[in-house]
Amino acid sequence: MSEAIETARTYLRPSKKLPTVWCGGCGLGIILSAMIRAIARVGVEKNDVAVVSGIGCTGRMPTYVDFNTLHTTHGRALAFATGIKLARPSLTVIAAMGDGDALAIGGNHFIHACRRNIDMTAIVANNSIYGMTGGQYSPTTPHGKRGTTAPYGNVEHAFDVASLAAGAGATFVARSSVYHARELDRLFEKAIRHKGFSVVEAVTNCYTSYGRLNNHASPVEMLRWMKENSVPFAAAAKMDPEELEGKFTRGVIVDRELPEFIESYDEQASALAENPVAVEQVGNILRRFDAAAERLNPKSG
């Protein structure tokens, strides 16, 4: 049995939920398999991984994988994931979201998760459209490109997902595409290993809802577009802005160290536990609560 089949057997839920609901030629399967390869390489036990999603085509991802999984509401994957990580800091938590999910309805959660630097990985599958609901323009639809709600071209401007994450304070930010499947799993691996909040933008193709509206010939042609219009980050640094027009950069964009949220929180709690004044103050508050509770609800006997 090949290694790939063995990995699939280990990490997928074949008896339950395959084949996927995704359209033929959709890039989401490539992202899913890259995520699985990355987790396998990190070597974390399946039961120690939680994969959380919101709504949309990407939101279906947790259905197929045999980890602890949670399929939540539109835009809220990171909020649920934060709760999971706080309750069980030992879990490796991964939130998989689409561009509409992560950046429109969930945009507020996204920037604050970046700022908070809690140790988890956010995968943003960016196909520049709301795929599942039928091609409405999203926060990453490029200016001038078409959506069903922008039949003659989008008059708004797109977010640069990686720059947004970097600006909001994420301590690891990277980007690649589904054409670069191997690079993608290596970036996912780095992101999972990174201590702090990591964002990996996976540029992907939605031929069904985006490609057809924007004169792409096929899903394959969209992959070719990614190949021809992306530049490794290091090479891009040496290029003129004109040369980079209409292209996207790939690779690790931010990788820095900053105290992680849960560690900082625990540190503060242990420091307070050793501070007699703080212990007394907290003790007083608790005693007052107890006294109030006793007044409201006197214990019999």
Partner 1 sequence: MGRRLILTGNDAAAEAMRQIDPDVVAAFPITPQTELMHKFAQHVADGDVKAEFVLVESEHSAMSATVGAAAAGARAMTATSANGLALMWEIVYIAASSRLPIVMPVVNRALSGPINIHCDHSDTMGCRDSGWLQIYSENAQEVYDNVLQAIRIAEHPDVLLPVMVTFDGFILSHTAEILEGLEDPVVRKWVGDYESKYTLLNTDEPVTYGPLDLQDYYFEHKRQQIEAMRNAPKVVRDVGKAYGEISGRSYDLLEAYELEGATRVIVALGSTAGTAKAVVDEMRAAGEAVGLLKIRCFRPFPEAEIAEKLSRAKAVAVLDRSVSFGAPGGPVHKEIKAALYGTGCDIGLVNYIYGLGGRDVSMDHIRQAFTDLTTIAREGTPSDGVRFLGLRD
- What is the torsional sign of CA 265, 172, 102, 123? negative
- The reply on whether position 23 binds partner 1 by CB under 8 A is no
Q: How many CB atoms lie within 10 A of CB 142?
A: 14
Backbone angle region of 13, left / alpha / beta, with phi > 0 → left and psi within -120 to 50 → alpha: beta
**CA distances to 79, 162, 188, 199, 299 from 177, in Å:** 26, 13, 12, 14, 64
Options 97, 124, 132, 164; binder of ligand SF4; rule CB under 6 A: 132
- The reply on whether position 7 binds partner 1 by CB under 8 A is no
Binding letters toward ligand SF4, positions 196-235, x by CB under 6 A: ----------xxxx--------------------------
Of the candidates 79, 112, 73, the residue with the CA atom closest to the CA atom of residue 93: 79
**Phi, psi for 122 (deg, rounded to 5):** -105, 120
Options 11, 22, 80, 137; binder of partner 1; rule CB under 8 A: 137
- What is the rounded CA–CA span in Å between residue 116 and residue 113? 5
Options 11, 22, 137, 261; binder of ligand SF4; rule CB under 6 A: 22
Q: 127 touches which of ligand SF4, partner 1, none (CB within 5 to 8 A by kind)?
A: ligand SF4
Binding letters toward partner 1, positions 26-65, x by CB under 8 A: -----------------------------x----------
- The reply on whether position 16 binds partner 1 by CB under 8 A is no
Q: 107 touches which of ligand SF4, partner 1, none (CB within 5 to 8 A by kind)?
A: partner 1
Considering only residues 67 to 96 of the shown chain, the ones binding partner 1 according to CB under 8 A are 71, 73-75
Strand 230-232 and strand 248-255: pairing? parallel
Strand 49-53 and strand 120-126: pairing? unpaired
Q: Which stretches of the chain bind ligand SF4, using CB under 6 A?
A: 22-23, 26, 28, 57, 127, 131-132, 206-209
